[in-house]
């Protein structure tokens, strides 16, 4: 069994899809260490030859894994050599889909990521809203929010809000539950008024203590007892107001954001 492997993500476009699909497969082999690198914008024969030369110079003889979403058959032929293990993702499935659908694919890179003007405008609005309403700012505008994330300090509110805005085009605000809220077991009126769009984020006390300790080592703020008390208080507030709770511990930002969207039946903007 291999203990380590070099991995390359190749694409005619940004490489996001190749990376996402590759990671989804590689995570099934946790006992192997993977060294990954992305090589985007391979659009000519010269680009393909340079990519192969680079890969061989870095990983020659070790049969690196190469995940590719390149659809140009001429480029695939250049890349498909014996020194690498090529996983040509799109080419394999496009051929099958052409047969099933009895139609020819356009085989153009990045077609799914070409956004129309209206979608781009809505995405920009979501990003601006997220930035302006981070960490409890401008609660007077919470009526416009599609989701309001609640949680104690360092429970993951901001990165999840940013993902919802940038990757899904969703207007996300987030509010930190401070001592005043926790001790009174009470939420501010703008949140209560919009509680149907609120989601409570919770986490494991040990995880929270670790995250806080990286910035404020040996502080009361990072002590495990403080984290336990705050999480328990926050969870009681969520239950009191009937706000759904998502436990983010052990989940990626993407997974948590997707669950948030599912709970509120929020849809990703077309094309994102």
Q: What is the pLDDT of residues 235-258, one digit of tens each?
A: 999 999 999 999 988 788 889 999
Asked, for residue 272, whether it belongs to a domain, the answer is no
The pLDDT of 153-171, averaged and rounded, is: 93
229 vs 248: CA distance, rounded Å:
17
Together in a domain, 127 and 240: yes
- 8 A C-beta contact, residue 202 and residue 151: yes
Q: What is the pLDDT of residue 114?
A: 52
pLDDT above 70 covers what percent of the chain? 96
Lowest mean pLDDT, pick from 60-69, 112-121, 123-132, 142-151: 112-121
The pLDDT of 210-220, averaged and rounded, is: 92
Together in a domain, 127 and 94: no
103 vs 97: CA distance, rounded Å:
8
Together in a domain, 209 and 80: no
Q: How confident is the model at residue 61 (pLDDT cuts 50, 70, 90)?
A: confident
Lowest mean pLDDT, pick from 53-62, 86-95, 259-268: 86-95
Asked, for residue 186, whether it belongs to a domain, the answer is yes
Residues in the chain: 272
Asked, for residue 40, whether it belongs to a domain, the answer is yes
The pLDDT of 41-46, averaged and rounded, is: 93
CATH of the domain at 108: 3.40.50
Of 147, 210, 192, nearest to 173 by C-alpha is 147
Together in a domain, 9 and 49: yes
Asked, for residue 245, whether it belongs to a domain, the answer is yes
pLDDT at 57 over 60: yes
Together in a domain, 121 and 216: yes
Q: What share of the chain is helix, strand, coil (3-state, %, to 5)?
A: 55, 15, 35
Q: What is the pLDDT of residue 272?
A: 67
Residue that the structure tokens 């403080």 belong to: 226
- 8 A C-beta contact, residue 153 and residue 169: no
Together in a domain, 25 and 70: yes
77 vs 221: CA distance, rounded Å:
58
Together in a domain, 151 and 71: no
Tell if the pTM clears 0.85, that is, is over it.
no
Together in a domain, 79 and 198: no
- The domain in which residue 105 lies consists of 4-112
**Of 79, 112, 145, which marks where a domain is finished?**
112
Q: What is the pLDDT of residue 270?
A: 74
Asked, for residue 214, whether it belongs to a domain, the answer is yes
| Sign, Cα dihedral of 61, 63, 67, 73 | positive
Together in a domain, 150 and 226: yes
Q: For the purposes of burial, counting CB atoms within 10 Å of the CB of 250, is it exposed (0-12), middle (13-18) or buried (19 or more)?
A: exposed
| Sign, Cα dihedral of 258, 262, 267, 271 | positive
The pLDDT of 29-35, averaged and rounded, is: 92
Together in a domain, 202 and 254: yes
Q: What is the pLDDT of residue 2?
A: 87
The pLDDT of 113-133, averaged and rounded, is: 82
**Of 58, 77, 112, which marks where a domain is finished?**
112
The pLDDT of 195-219, averaged and rounded, is: 95
Q: Which residue blocks in 141-223 are alpha helix, DSSP H?
A: 157-168, 179-184, 189-193, 205-215
Asked, for residue 56, whether it belongs to a domain, the answer is yes
Q: How confident is the model at residue 207 (pLDDT cuts 50, 70, 90)?
A: very high
Together in a domain, 192 and 78: no
DSSP state of 103: S
Together in a domain, 132 and 32: no
Asked, for residue 271, whether it belongs to a domain, the answer is no
Domain count, the chain: 2
Asked, for residue 34, whether it belongs to a domain, the answer is yes
Residue that the structure tokens 């997707």 belong to: 258
**Of 92, 112, 132, which marks where a domain is finished?**
112
Count Cβ atoms below 10 Å from residue 129 Cβ, excluding itself.
21
74 vs 151: CA distance, rounded Å:
52
The pLDDT of 66-70, averaged and rounded, is: 93
Q: What is the pLDDT of residue 181?
A: 97
The pLDDT of 43-70, averaged and rounded, is: 93
Nearest-10 crossing angle of helices 205-215, 224-241: 120
* 116 vs 195: which has the higher pLDDT: 195
């Amino acid at each position: 069994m291999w203990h380590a492997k070099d991995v390359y993500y190749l694409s005619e476009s940004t490489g996001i899809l190749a990376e996402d699909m590759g990671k989804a497969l590689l995570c099934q082999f946790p006992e192997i260490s993977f060294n990954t690198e992305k090589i985007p914008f391979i659009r000519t024969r010269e680009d393909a030859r340079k990519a192969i030369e680079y890969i061989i110079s870095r990983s020659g003889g070790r049969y690196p894994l190469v995940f590719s979403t390149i659809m140009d058959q001429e480029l695939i032929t250049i890349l498909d050599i014996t020194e690498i293990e090529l996983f040509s993702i799109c080419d394999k499935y496009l051929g099958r889909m052409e047969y099933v659908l009895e139609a020819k694919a356009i085989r153009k890179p990045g077609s799914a990521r070409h956004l129309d003007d209206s979608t781009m405008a809505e995405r920009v609005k979501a990003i601006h809203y997220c930035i302006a309403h981070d960490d409890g700012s401008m609660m007077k505008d919470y009526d416009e929010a599609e989701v309001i994330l609640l949680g104690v300090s360092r429970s993951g509110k901001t990165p999840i809000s940013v993902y919802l805005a940038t990757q899904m085009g969703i207007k996300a605000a987030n509010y930190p539950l401070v001592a005043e809220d926790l001790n009174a077991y009470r939420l501010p009126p703008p949140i209560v008024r919009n509680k149907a769009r609120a989601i409570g984020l919770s986490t494991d006390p040990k995880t929270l203590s670790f995250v806080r300790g990286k910035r404020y080592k040996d502080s009361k703020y990072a002590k495990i007892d403080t984290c336990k008390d705050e999480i328990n208080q926050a969870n009681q507030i969520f239950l009191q107001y009937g706000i759904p709770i998502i436990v983010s511990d052990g989940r990626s930002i993407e997974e948590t954001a997707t669950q948030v969207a599912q709970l509120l039946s929020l849809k990703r903007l077309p094309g994102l």
